Amino acid sequence: MNSISTEIRHSQNRAQDFADLEYRRKFMKLTDKDCASIRLIKDIIDRELPIALDSFYEQVRKTPETSSFFPTESKIGHAKHAQQDHWKNISSANFDQKYAEKVHIIGSVHARIGLEPRWYIGGYAIVLDHLIRSIISDLAPKTGLFAKKPAISAEQMGDAIASLTKAVMLEMDLTISVYLEEAEKARQKSRDEVIHKEQTFVADSFGVILSEVAERNLSQKMDKELPAAYIPLRDNLNGAIESLRETLGIVNDTTETIDITAGEINSAAQDLAHRTEQQAVSVEKTAAAVEEITATVTSTASRVSEANTFVNNCQNITEQFGVMINRATSAMSEIERSSEAISKITNVMSNIAIQTNLLALNTGVEAARAGEAGSGFRVLAQEIRDLANRAGNASKEVKELVETSRGQVLSGVSIMEEAGHAISTIISSVADIGDHLKAIAEAASEQATALQEVNNAVSTIDQGTRQNAAMVEQTSAASSGMAQQARQLKGLLNEFTLS
């Protein structure tokens, strides 16, 4: 699988190299005409190239910076042979994909061995100098009688030299580009290796302290010397561990406080729950008592209302009786006045009887004086005297009866007046009783309403008390859970080494 991936990657690189070659040829205007001009001087290039390369390697041997790359003649010979083979593409103006691959290989080798572009450019300058001189020497017009006509014109020679120069520039451009790319890859690889080594060292250094932290040991800190770029990270890590150690210490202390506080809250909640339960029972009894009182007051109000109705009826009857007493008193007064009139009449009758008796007596005296002639008048006078005496006696008896009756009437009037006053007092008292009963009924009704409101309030208190009891139970359960969690947290904190 790896070999297939590598082959695919190489194929992609070759295609890219050829695309770059065509793009750069187009930019340099290295046209097919230029390629044809180069082919006109192919024989000169192939003939003179070994000489030019000998001149180049002679200079290489003299230069310390380059001689180290070719320490033996064998290496020089091998390199020279490879260059001659490669130059066939240039002299033939054959800039195909195979040429692009060779250029890529040359650039990669130069980058790998560290042959800098300046020596490469200098080498091409030596070779190109010799080739141009040779081309001019062979193709420049000759003077003299026996001079041969040049194979190509001066213009064609100029085009050929210019085209060869473009081809050499293209060669150097491609090779140097590959060199720079490969050199950059090598530098990047070197940097990556340095970074990897540095990261490995740092990771190992940090790994020790992080391993201690992973084992819950916060008593250690990193003192190892690190690259400057990692010193802030080391200081930050030490600071973080110190902050974490201090924080966990505070959390540990706080956990103990929470545990104690939760215990106190739980104890207080249980006590409150007990008190709330007792209060709920008391409130329930109070509610029952208030409800009973409310029923009693409501019943009392109803009875007072009935009594008030009864008193009102009594008041009406008493007032009617008072009217009757007043009428009876008036009648007794009339009887008294009639008795007085009868008494006056009996007095008149008594006086008449006395006068009649005196007249009869006088008549008898006169009849006695008349003798026999007056005997009849004596008898009549005697009868009149008897009648007058009986009338006087009867009048006296009537008067006595009238006086007795008058006394009784006066006594009755007095009694009726006293009864009237008593009835008035009773009516007033009954009215007062009615007012009081009405006030009592209204007060009892208000008390019943107030007691109903109290009963509702007590019911609300009872409900609230039961809710409070439930909430207290929840609080107790929550505080118990919090205490348990605090103990668990403390157990976890105890696994850390803080000092």
**What are residue 217's DSSP bridge partners?**
497
Quick one: 258 and 344 in the same domain? yes
Q: Is residue 23 part of a domain?
A: yes
When divided into structural domains, the chain yields a total of 2
Q: What are phi and psi of 270, to 5 degrees?
A: -65, -45
Q: Is residue 232 part of a domain?
A: no
CA separation for the pair 101, 14 (Å, rounded): 6
Q: Is residue 216 part of a domain?
A: no
Quick one: 181 and 261 in the same domain? no
| Per-residue model confidence (pLDDT) at position 146 | 54
| Per-residue model confidence (pLDDT) at position 217 | 82
| Per-residue model confidence (pLDDT) at position 413 | 66
Q: Which residue has tokens 């293209």?
A: 170
Quick one: 193 and 286 in the same domain? no
Quick one: 88 and 145 in the same domain? yes
Quick one: 256 and 335 in the same domain? yes
pTM greater than 0.75 (yes/no): no
| Domain containing residue 36 | 2-205
Give the domain CATH number at 172: 1.10.490.10
Instruction: For residue 483, give both structure tokens.
Output: 């205490």
Q: Is residue 72 part of a domain?
A: yes
SS3 of 497, please? strand
CA separation for the pair 492, 472 (Å, rounded): 30
User: What's the residue count for the chain?
Assistant: 499
Residues 249-271 have pLDDT tens digits of 787 778 778 778 877 877 877 77
Distance separating the N- and C-terminal Cα atoms of the chain: 55
Quick one: 280 and 187 in the same domain? no
Q: Is residue 220 part of a domain?
A: no
Give the domain CATH number at 299: 1.10.287.950
Q: Is residue 227 part of a domain?
A: no
CA separation for the pair 342, 123 (Å, rounded): 190
Quick one: 162 and 278 in the same domain? no
| Per-residue model confidence (pLDDT) at position 3 | 45
Whether 304 and 435 have beta carbons less than 8 Å apart is answered as no
Alpha carbon 59 to its chain centroid, in Å, reads 85
Q: Is residue 223 part of a domain?
A: no
Q: Is residue 117 part of a domain?
A: yes
| Per-residue model confidence (pLDDT) at position 26 | 87
CA separation for the pair 97, 11 (Å, rounded): 11
Mean pLDDT of residues grouped by 10 in the chain (499 residues)?
42 59 86 91 92 90 86 87 87 85 83 81 90 89 59 85 90 84 83 81 74 78 74 81 80 79 77 75 75 75 73 74 73 74 75 79 76 73 78 76 74 74 75 75 75 76 76 75 75 70
